Amino acid sequence: EKASHFSVMMSNKEKRFDAYAGLAAENGENRNCSIARVKCPWCPEKSMKRYGWGRGLRMHLEAKHIDRLRETSLEDALAAISKDAIILKKKESIPLACAAARDGVSKKLELLFQCGEWEPLGSRGTDRFGYRAHHWASGSKNGCLLTCLKYASRHEIDLLTFQERREGNRGGRTLLHWAARNGCLQNAKFLIADGAHLEARTIDGTTPLMLSLYGGHIDVCDYLYDCGALVGVQQNSFKCNDAHWAAMGHKPLITLQWLAAHAPPQLFLAIQVHGHSVFHKLAAQHSSSQLEALSFLADKNIIPLNALPLLLRPDESGRRPSEIASCAGFLHLSSLFERIEKISASH
């Protein structure tokens, strides 16, 4: 029953707020979606933090309770969660200025400025993560970025963004990060022409290219590359490289193929700090091209046979990719991983 529920939650991921990336990439038809959030069963009672059921909670357990996970199982941790602890809540509303910038309503944005409800360089009109109307406009294909820039320049906003980094993985995303994450190619072109830093890093070391790979936006990847962005070089603070981001993204097949054409093959052999290879990342994320992406990676021309044992071995929590996929409810993917693991073990 628990695995079935887990599967349903993961299969509905595209309909939920993208809490992991934190850039509000949802489209107009799902802006009022609900989010299932739970309290960690192993954190102190006084802790008020809640995590997305599934990947969000799993990442927290692996990051903060790795020693305890070695002694028990992820299933036991999930079973310890009381049904009363599951919180279903509506997506929190964003400030009027951010909404107007996202939706491209320039006149409303100008009126909010005149009324003092929007301070481009102040705190009034920022969302709960400290991001401003400029960010929301940059991350929307319908946004009014040029209107926002009349009141504060890209340089001023990016400088404030770095100064106001919040604790956690969301902090420090520049305007280019937002455009790259949400596939806003025209905004990315404008920002780069205006001097945006191609290798700007967030508080956890994430680059714009990593976010464009995660979102599956090949056109943005191409443009960043043409402008000189480094491919297969950068790592974030968890030592996740471009291949990790592509594997756990929304369109892993096309982004992994893109990386294979633009980066050295060693990129696919890296293991990050929690013991995750590209296989572990692929196993945990729902996408329409999981099976095809795994078949692509398993090709000897991409990942040599003698490298498979290292990449398929258990992570810090003791789980192989096949076990991660099974826990997430991806049974066909888990079965394919098991076959590859057997082939690897026989050589």
Cβ atoms within 10 Å of 104's Cβ, excluding its own: 16
Residue 141 is assigned to a structural domain of this protein: yes
Residue 105: CATH number of its domain: 1.25.40.20
Residue 305 is assigned to a structural domain of this protein: yes
**Same-domain check for residues 212 and 107:** yes
Residue 103 is assigned to a structural domain of this protein: yes
Residue 235 is assigned to a structural domain of this protein: no
Q: 303 burial class (0-12, 13-18, 19+ CB within 10 angstroms)?
A: buried
Encoded tokens for 322: 């096949």
pLDDT for residue 46: 61
**Same-domain check for residues 143 and 26:** no
Residue 236 is assigned to a structural domain of this protein: no
pLDDT for residue 245: 98
pLDDT for residue 65: 80
Contacts of 36 (CB under 8 A, 6+ apart): 9, 52, 53, 86, 87, 88
**Same-domain check for residues 108 and 178:** yes
Q: Specify the residue for token string 């929190």.
A: 92
d(CA 240, CA 280): 12
**Same-domain check for residues 133 and 64:** no
**Same-domain check for residues 16 and 113:** no
185-193 and 218-226 helices cross at what angle (nearest 10)?
Answer: 20
Supply the range of the domain harboring residue 49: 1-91
Residue 162 is assigned to a structural domain of this protein: yes
Contacts of 83 (CB under 8 A, 6+ apart): none
d(CA 325, CA 337): 8
Sheet with 34-38, side-by-side order of all strands: 51-52, 34-38, 87-90
**Same-domain check for residues 86 and 113:** no
d(CA 335, CA 329): 11
pLDDT for residue 83: 46
pLDDT for residue 82: 52
d(CA 235, CA 79): 34
pLDDT tens, the chain, 347 aa long? 333 333 333 333 333 323 323 333 333 333 333 345 677 877 876 666 777 766 677 778 777 787 777 777 666 666 666 544 444 444 558 999 999 999 999 999 999 999 999 999 998 999 988 899 999 999 999 999 999 999 999 999 999 888 876 555 457 899 999 999 999 999 999 999 999 999 999 988 999 999 999 999 999 999 999 999 999 999 999 999 999 999 999 999 999 999 999 999 999 999 999 999 999 999 988 777 889 999 999 887 899 989 999 999 999 989 999 999 998 888 999 999 999 999 888 76
* CA distance to 198, 209, 217, 308, per residue, from 180 (Å): 10, 7, 8, 32
Domain boundary, last residue among 209, 230, 251: 230
pLDDT for residue 91: 53
Q: 301 burial class (0-12, 13-18, 19+ CB within 10 angstroms)?
A: exposed
**Same-domain check for residues 312 and 283:** yes
Overall domain count for the chain: 3
d(CA 168, CA 204): 8
Bridge partner list, 36: 88
Residue 173 is assigned to a structural domain of this protein: yes
Let me know the angle formed at the C-alpha of 109 by 103 and 110, rounded to the nearest 5 degrees: 145
